[in-house]
Amino acid sequence: MSTTEAMTSRQSEKQRHDDRAGRLERLRHAIEHAGHLLPSQGPITVFVHHNTLHAFEDLPFDEAVKSGGKTFGCEPYLAEERYREALERGRIRAVDLEAVLRRDLSRRSDEPILSLGTRFDLRLAMLTHSIQSGPAAELRWFVAETDALERIRPDAPPAARERLLADARRWAQPDSIEARQGTQGRAEEDRLHKIMADALHHFGDPTKNDWSSRTWEKFMLQTLWRICREGTRNLKPVAASPPAITRHRDLLFQATACDIDLLVNDVLIRYCAAYLDQGFAHRLLPDRDRGFFQSFCTIHRQPFGSPERWQRGLEQELTRLQDGQIGPLACLAESLDRLGIREEKWDQYLSATLLSLRGWAGMIQQVESRSDRVVHAIRPGSLVEFLAIRLVLERFALQFVAREALGYTGPLADLPKAAKARIPHATPPVAEKRAFVVFQLAQLLGWTPSELHRLSKQEWSTLIEEIESFSNIDRRRILHGAYERRYFNQALDAVATHAKRSASRPEKPWFQAVFCIDDREESFRRHLEEASSDIETFAAAGFFNVPIYFKGAADAHYTPLCPVIIRPKHWVTEEVAHPHHEEHVRRTSLRRAIGTATHRIHVGSRTFTSGALLSAGVGLLASVPLISRILLPRLAARVRQSFSRFIEPPPLTQLRLERTEETAGPEGGHIGFSVEEMANAAEMLLRDIGLTSRYGRFVLIIGHGSSSLNNPHMSAYGCGACAGAYGGPNARAVSQMLNDPRVRTILAERGLPLPDDTLFVGGFHNTCKDSVTFYDVDRIPASIRADFDEVRKTIEETCDRNAHERCRRFESAPLSLSPAGARRHVEERSEDLAQPRPELGHVTNAVTIVGRRSRTRGLYLDRRAFLTCYDPTQDDADATILLRLLQAAIPVCAGIGLEYYFSHVDPQGYGCSTKLPQNVSALLGVMDGAASDLRTGLPWQMVEIHEPLRPLFVIETTPEVMLNVMERNASIGQLCHNEWILLATLSPDSSDLHLFRDGVFQPYTPETTELPSAKSSFDWYSGWRNNLDFAQIPA
Amino acid sequence: MLTETLLAWIVVGAPTVLLCVLGAWSLTGRRLSERFMARAVQAAIVAGLLASSAILTIMLVSDSRHIVIEVGHWVVVPDYHFSLRFMFDRLSVPFVILSYVLCGTIGSFGSRYLHRETGFNRFFVLYAVFLLGMVATSLAGTIETLFAGWELVGLSSALLVAFYHERPAPVRNGLRVWSVYRVSDAALLMAALMLHRMTGEGNFDALMGTGSWPFGEATITGGQALVVGLLLVVAAAGKSALVPFSGWLPRAMEGPTPSSAVFYGSLSVHLGAFLLLRVSPVLALSPLLCGVIVALGLTTAVLSAITERVQTDIKSALSYASLTQVGIIVAEIGLLPPLLGPWACYIPLVHILGHACLRTLQFLRAPTLLQDYRLLENAIGARLPRSNALLQLLIPRPIQIWFYRFAMERCYLDAWLDDFVVDPVLRLFQSLDGLERRWTTFLAGRPSHPREHVQPTATIFEER
């Protein structure tokens, strides 16, 4: 018997153990799941644009923004007033709004609402007019203090106005009053009679003294108002479900107005920053390598710690956890038990808890999962440990606040009940609010007092329900749809109309230039093409199919130059030409000496002794750079540049591109590509962009990047295809490959012969300063040097003109600037410490066009289009090239467009609001002021003039091919099907467009086939600051 | 002499006119254009700067050490008067020039940095308040004038900390700064009253005797000096974030970068030290007072140096670095003149000037930290080394860990203040409030108004 007992007990112990293990496993899983909601922005030095609501991509856009908004407490669309303002200035037309509303209502659109008109009319009125609403007190003030009861709304249509006044006149006729007095009996009639009698009593007899029209108006409005109040009285209250409250903190906050997150975050922000620090603080966090949990325990269990009263007992608790070998998961489970969170609520509770410090939690998750992107990696499992510590702290804070503010000392599991009891349950009065809405709608739609008074209680309920079913978010959804429709139609019309003008490639091009697909290069290409019809431009993703780790001659480390999803397999270095080697060594050591000294000063100035010596001794000298850099930024930059010319590496350098060893690696002979690999990369680039014949004398391949000061978000302005870095080295590398005779031999064998007299030249476009520099110019043979100088001159002029077009968007740049003046202006911007808008980045992006340039050449796209070159006539039946291109282009361009969308519609929640008070923390991100959650998303200065639209894609292919691509790539399919992006195809051999809507391609009928034309881009844009319409430009 | 007076009037008048123009216009509710505001600030500052530089030149050439302009009396009663006067001497002129130079530079910075910001107008109105406050404080010839300037500086800094008032944190921190300033103001006010009791007026001349700064000789006794001096030390400690008030300094970083730079990197944080310099002849009378000042300065410097070492964000690091130097400067004021003679007052003065310029530059460049680090790494050719103090090897690990947390929690100063000052005061006033209520209920025979219960607004996504 004893053996059986022992066995059962052992069994049950084992079972308990299994249960426990299973439970912890489920907990780990729940955390993983909750973690999906965290922002996926990594360290700010490698800024990658991505869809802010990526976690909701499995939902259709409109549902996703709604539930995302609920989860994060953010706005789904712009505010209603912004759309109405757009409606007023014609950015949204009435036809757009009507079309979108009809489409949304479809068959329900013409259903009558009682006898008061159709649903369509009601909703349209609610969309086009702003309906005042607010708390009862505000409405009471509004009614009493404004002329709401004296004048009909000025925006009421004349017909409605007439109708209302006529009704009032008819009503006040003595015979009609008498007639109504006859029909005694019905309670409503009685009440109405009373209202009338009151009003008449107040205003006097209309038959005796001649009422002015204003008096009639007043009389009518007061009657109407009273009828509305009467009608909406005692209706069923809104059946809105109260927002689900998951966290104890929320309840306690509502009951006591004390926010425990303030206490907890104060500790955690500092600690998270110290844990994640990438080398800013002088002192390393003790026990950092043992992980978040252990390190926190080690530090916070010390005796004589914080005198903060809410932390009393924390030392003992942490000692217990650490000495009792209680791991983070077990600790977490324990905390959840104490808080009384049942297992089925874990997901909800944990995600709400994580989101209360989402920036830091998200960064922990990012650093943990992408250890290759940071200097100081952290241990896996840090997010779990973070959550464990967070809950321990929350328990202490909850206990403290419950005791101090609520007088509650019981177990935490019962705290919600105690807190709920203390929340005052006053349902706000809604009758007046409803009355006021009906009152306003009646004026807009001409619902007369007599019509309204005839409604029964039941009918009033129906009316109110109908009005309230068209909520604020639904209105904004429709308004937003109209806002988008206007631009989409304009864009599609322009593309369709322009595509009719069949342009062909120049027979003998002078030179060709390949740029990044970036929207900022659109204007550059256009200006270049306007310079001569013999110039051709192309575009490919800015790493030009050469994903590399690159180290420049003056760089300390390799930088990955390719989209983040790719991990490069090749390493490339820049080396100083041999004759200058000694000079290079000398300058390197000079730079090192200066760098070391600067670093010493930088650090020393913040310490006790060196700081005192520096500031008292030479501190006054700091006034020279201080004053000069702020008052004369451009001059100061010039001086610095001429100084740095003596310490930079010598200008003659070359890339180490070819490896001698079998395998690729970062050292010695492993650096570089094999000839075969070079040929592959080069071939892929040429085939992707369709540049397979008619080569010019020169083919320029130009990467891009952006330079600015005082800008933690600098990498968000860089080349997206190079993870925010400079794409110059990629352009240089691929040019060098294409010039290599061995590569050319292989290409010729593969059916891609390159003419011997075609030279590829790599370059770099600084999109902030608008400067273009070329690489390896010293290798251009003397015989064609003069030709190249001609090319260079054209590029320089294009820089000026491009800068000029950009300057129209800067309010601080006068519209009267000359192109050269504009160039100076943008140069100054990039060198000015006081400039929060060095450039405007992708702010105007709206559309992506994938196709041959000949289809869009000469179309003024206003820097709003990503242009990817793709020649459908050269693709195979499987659309291999298209799939490859879209796999990169759709996530990147949609990511940019959607991130701008969300950062603009809710700059505080999705964006990181203004950058002016921001503070770089842990070398990883920015905070607001001295301590806040880490701010993700884009700053307001970057998105301010953005038009939030879903990205529109126009792809030159057939609907069948596109459907095939969508099927083969699930993530593209999902984005299209759920309408995160709007998709249209342009037929390769006609100007027919097909629009992808509701899961199918439908032919698109252009609204217009007119397209304005202008002599040049300059003519079209000069004098304007806002977004411009499409136009045809000879090019 | 006429030229000097005229120049002196320009120095004081320029910011006054600026504030009147910007302030009055804002009160009408109309918006001034950004360009106009920037130009107005520039013009006022250039005028003030040229005039004050001219005065400096004249003082150096003619070796006159003391120019006073008398604006008039506010109150005159027998044995007692409040007067508004400004004094140009070897302390005030460098300080006012520093204020003009830094305000001018930052003003130009701010006009570009805040371009299109909704608070542009508000920023520059507050900036004008600050400028006038700085000029009035630096040039004050009486303790009342100094107090007026001191208040203007305090008001504008608290409002600029709370510049982004749509978020809760800036408002909370602004309120905290404001409360500390009030304590410091109260101490200064009490000191002013005591001076009046002792000398019958608040003029620094009367207090410091005939010699011009720093060679004045105070006319009060050592005991009196100790009492007044201690009050002034409290005032200075609040304004310069000395121990135990240090906690507000990093919190004040909520405003836009230029205001953080000019307030907490350079000008306003040095005002406490300036006040002590201004009354240096009084300090010389009491060795005990000097001892207190040195101790306070050194404690602040050491604690903030320790705290600085663990900061992970650039603005907090800079504010503690700033505080370290301010602590040292204060210690210098208490230590050097008694040891070396009055001329040693120039050492802390030079220290202030140098530190202000250096720190302002660092603050303005703070957002460019990431690029700077990259440049440095490239120049050095490796990851930047963490500085490893030798002390770290000698101190046992538990103590190191203790100090780490001590530094990370900012020496517990705020918690300590909350526990030992704020809470008792709150409790005291709450119980007084309770007493009063009971008393009024008793008198009125019915309960008085209940306390307003304000419901926190739910920040939950609401569907209207």
The predicted model gives B450-459 an average pLDDT of 51
Q: Do B169 and A928 touch (CB under 8 A)?
A: yes
Chain B partners within 8 Å of A834 (Cβ):
108-110, 112-113, 258, 364
The strands making up A559-561's β-sheet, listed across from edge to edge, are A559-561, A548-551, A570-576, A653-656
Average pLDDT over residues A29-58: 93
A833 neighbourhood in chain B, CB within 8 Å: 109, 364-365, 368
pLDDT at B158 over 90: yes
Which residue in A132, A357, A710, A809 has the most chain B C-beta atoms within 10 A of its own C-beta, making it the best mutation to test that interface?
A: A710
Size of interface A-B (CB pairs under 8 A): 309
Closest chain B C-alpha to A870 CA, distance in angstroms: 37
Instruction: Name residues 51-70 of chain B within 8 A of A (Cβ).
Output: none
Mean pLDDT computed over A529-545: 94
Question: B357 touching A, CB under 8 A?
Answer: yes
- The pLDDT of residue B284: 87
pLDDT averaged over every residue in chain A = 91
Please count the other Cβ atoms lying within 10 Å of the Cβ belonging to residue A420: 13
**pLDDT number for residue B206:** 74
Is B367 in contact with A612 (Cβ distance < 8 A)? no
Q: At what angle do helices A382-401 and A314-323 cross, to 10 degrees?
A: 150
Name the pairing type of β-strands B80-88 and B67-77. antiparallel
pLDDT at res. B464: 38
Q: Is A672 left (phi over 0), alpha (psi -120 to 50) or beta?
A: left
Q: What residues in A contact B325, CB-CB < 8 Å?
A: 611-612, 615
Angle between helices B222-239 and B287-308 (to 10 degrees): 20
| DSSP calls for A279-319 | S-SSSPPTTGGG-HHHHHHHHHT-SS----GGGTTHHHHHH
CA distance B113 to B116: 9
On the question of pLDDT at B3 being above 60, the answer is: yes
Torsion of CA A46, A47, A51, A54, to 10 degrees: 30
Res A142: pLDDT: 86
SS3 A925: strand
Q: What is the structure's pLDDT at A76?
A: 96
Taking an 8 Å cut-off on Cβ atoms, the answer to whether A74 and B256 are in contact is: no
* Interface touch B383/A556, C-beta < 8 Å: yes
A871-901 per-position pLDDT tens digit: 999 999 999 999 999 998 999 999 999 999 9
- The model's pLDDT over B375-429, given as tens digits with 9 standing for 90+, comes to 999 999 888 887 666 666 778 888 989 999 999 999 999 999 988 888 899 999 9
The interaxial angle of helices B222-239 and B168-199, nearest 10 deg, is 170
Q: How many CB atoms lie within 10 A of CB A708?
A: 23
Q: Is the pLDDT of residue A795 over 90?
A: yes
Token pair belonging to B82: 């409040």
To the nearest whole angstrom, how far is the Cα of B338 from the nearest Cα of chain A?
A: 20
Among the partner residues A307, A554, A620, nearest to B378 by beta-carbon distance:
A554
Helix H or strand E encompassing A391: helix A382-401
pLDDT tens, residue by residue, B350-367: 999 999 999 999 999 999
- The answer, for B390 touching chain A at a CB cutoff of 8 Å, is no
Task: Compute the nearest-CA separation of A484 from chain B (Å).
Answer: 23
Measured between beta carbons, the chain A residues lying within 8 angstroms of B320 are 606
pLDDT tens-digit map of B161-183: 999 998 999 999 999 999 999 99
Nearest to B401 among A271, A299, A615 (CB): A299
**What are the residues whose beta carbons fall under 8 Å from the beta carbon of A318, sequence distance 6 or more?**
A296, A297, A300, A301, A392
For residue A914, the chain B residues in CB contact (below 8 A) are: 117, 164
How far is residue A443 from each of residues A162, A216, A1029, B174, measured CA to CA in Å? 10, 14, 37, 47
pLDDT tens per residue, range A215-252: 889 889 988 999 998 888 888 776 556 666 789 999 99
Shortest distance, CA A775 to any CA of chain B (angstroms): 21
> Would strands A535-540 and A511-516 be described as parallel, antiparallel, or unpaired?
parallel
- Cβ distance B313 to A307 less than 8 Å, yes or no, reads no
Percent of chain A predicted with pLDDT > 90 = 77
Residue A1035 pLDDT greater than 90, yes or no: no
Q: Report the C-alpha gap between A613 and A607 in whole angstroms.
A: 10
Task: Confirm or reject contact between B107 and chain A (CB < 8 A).
Answer: no
Across all residues in chain B, what is the average pLDDT?
Answer: 89
Q: Which of A801, A798, A797 is nearest to A1019 (CA)?
A: A801
C-alpha torsion sign, points A575, A581, A587, A593: positive
- Span of A573-582, A917-926, B72-81 with lowest mean pLDDT: B72-81
Selected residue with higher pLDDT from A668 and B290:
B290
**HSE-CB for B232 with a 13 A CA cutoff:** 30
What pLDDT score does B1 carry?
A: 67
Q: What is the mean pLDDT of residues A511-529?
A: 96
**Contact flag B405-A619 (C-beta cutoff 8 Å):** no
Q: Residues of A with CB below 8 A from B257's CB?
A: 710, 916-918
N residues, chain A: 1035
pLDDT of residue B221: 84
From A611-620, A756-765, B393-402, the region with the lowest mean pLDDT? B393-402
Query: B423 by DSSP, 3-state: which?
Result: helix
Per the CB < 8 A criterion, the answer to whether A310 and A400 are in contact is yes
Residue B300: both structure tokens together = 């602040």
- Residue-level pLDDT at A82: 96
Is B321 in Cβ contact with A606 (below 8 Å)? yes
Searching chain B, which residue's CA lies closest to the CA of residue A242?
A: B462
> Token pair of A10, please?
């052992």
Could you read off the pLDDT of A938-973 as tens digits, one per residue? 999 999 999 999 999 999 999 999 999 999 999 999
Q: Is B382 on the interface with A (CB under 8 A)?
A: yes
Structural element, H or E, at residue A860: strand A859-860
pLDDT tens digits, one per residue of B80-134: 777 888 999 999 999 999 999 999 999 999 999 999 998 999 999 999 999 999 9
Percent of chain B with pLDDT over 90: 64
Pick from A507, A892, A503, A515: which is nearest to A685 by CA? Answer: A515
Residue A245: per-residue pLDDT: 77
Q: Are A443 and A152 in contact (CB under 8 A)?
A: yes
Residue B214, preceding bond cis, omega within 30 degrees? yes
Q: Above 80 in pLDDT, residue A6?
A: no
Question: What's the pLDDT score for residue A192?
Answer: 67
For chain A, give the percent of residues with pLDDT over 70. Answer: 95
pLDDT tens digits for A124-153? 999 999 988 887 778 888 888 888 889 999
A1000 vs B304: CA distance, rounded Å = 66
Using alpha carbons, list the distances in angstroms from residue A497 to A489, A527, A663, A854: 12, 21, 52, 13
Give A132→chain B minimum CA distance, Å: 12
Q: Look at B315 and A709 and tell me if their CB atoms are within 8 Å.
A: no
Q: Do A299 and B408 touch (CB under 8 A)?
A: yes
Instruction: Name the nearest CA neighbour of A323 among A297, A351, A285.
Output: A297
CB atoms B361 and A622 under 8 Å: yes
The Cα of B325 is separated from the nearest Cα of chain A by a number of Å equal to 6
- Closest residue by Cα to residue A828 from A622, A631, A1021, A625: A631
Nearest CA-CA partner of A518 in A753, A767, A273: A767
Sign of CA dihedral B295, B300, B303, B309: negative
- Average pLDDT for A724-733: 95
Using the Cβ of B312 and the Cβ atoms of chain A, whether some distance falls under 8 Å is answered with: yes
Rounded to 10 degrees, the C-alpha dihedral B270/B271/B275/B276 comes to: -20
E strand or H helix at A436: helix A431-445
Average pLDDT rounded to a whole number, residues B199-227: 79
Q: Look at B408 and A271 and tell me if their CB atoms are within 8 Å.
A: yes
Chain A residues touching residue B354 (CB < 8 angstroms)? 615-620, 622
Alpha carbon of B352: minimum distance to chain A alpha carbons (Å): 7
Q: Where are the alpha helices (DSSP H) in A37-135?
A: 61-72, 80-88, 94-105, 119-128
Both structure tokens of A285: 């966090």
The answer, as to whether pTM is greater than 0.80, is: yes
- CB within 8 A of A314, min separation 6: which ones? A300, A305, A306, A392, A393, A396
Q: Do A284 and B386 touch (CB under 8 A)?
A: yes
Which pLDDT band holds residue B461 (cuts at 50, 70, 90)?
very low
> Is B254 close to A599, i.e. CB distance below 8 A?
no
Angstrom distance (rounded) from CA A905 to CA A476: 12
pLDDT digits (tens, 9 = 90+) for A644-682: 888 888 888 999 999 999 999 999 899 999 999 999 999
- Quick check: A914 and B117 in contact, CB under 8 A? yes
Instruction: Say if residue B398 is preceded by a cis peptide, omega within 30 of 0.
Output: no
Six-digit token string for B392:
């770290």
pLDDT level of residue B460 (50, 70, 90 thresholds): very low
Amino acid A1: pLDDT = 44
Residues of B in Cβ contact (< 8 Å) with A44: 370
A694: left (phi over 0), alpha (psi -120 to 50) or beta: left
What average pLDDT does range A347-364 have in this prediction?
Answer: 95
| Cα distance between residue A529 and residue A536, in whole Å | 7
Q: A150 in helix, strand or coil?
A: coil
pLDDT band at B47 (very low <50, low <70, confident <90, very high): very high
More confident residue, B400 or A799: A799
User: Which residues from chain B sit within 8 angstroms of residue A428, using beta carbons?
Assistant: none
pLDDT-derived band at A197, boundaries 50, 70, 90: confident
Residues in chain B within 8 Å Cβ distance of A270 = 312, 408-409
Q: pLDDT (tens digit, 9 = 90+) per residue, A455-501?
A: 888 999 999 999 999 999 999 999 999 999 999 999 999 999 999 88
Mutation site, A74, A131, A275, A282, interface B, largest B CB count within 10 A = A282
What is the mean pLDDT of the segment spanning A258-263? 94
Nearest to B256 by CA among B341, B299, B315, B306: B315
Element (H, E) at A901: helix A880-905
| Residues A713 and A918 sit within 8 Å (Cβ to Cβ) | no
User: Is the CA virtual torsion B8, B14, B17, B20 positive or negative?
Assistant: negative
Could you give the ipTM of this predicted complex? Answer: 0.93
Specify the 3-state DSSP secondary structure of A763: strand
* pLDDT recorded at residue A180: 57
Torsion A271-A277-A281-A285 (CA) sign: positive
Hey, are the CB atoms on B301 and A608 less than 8 Å from each other?
A: yes
From A44, A813, A752, select the one nearest A362 (Cα to Cα). Answer: A44
Q: How far is A471 from chain B (nearest CA, A)?
A: 6
Task: Among A299, A714, A921, select the one facing B404 at the smallest CB separation.
Answer: A299
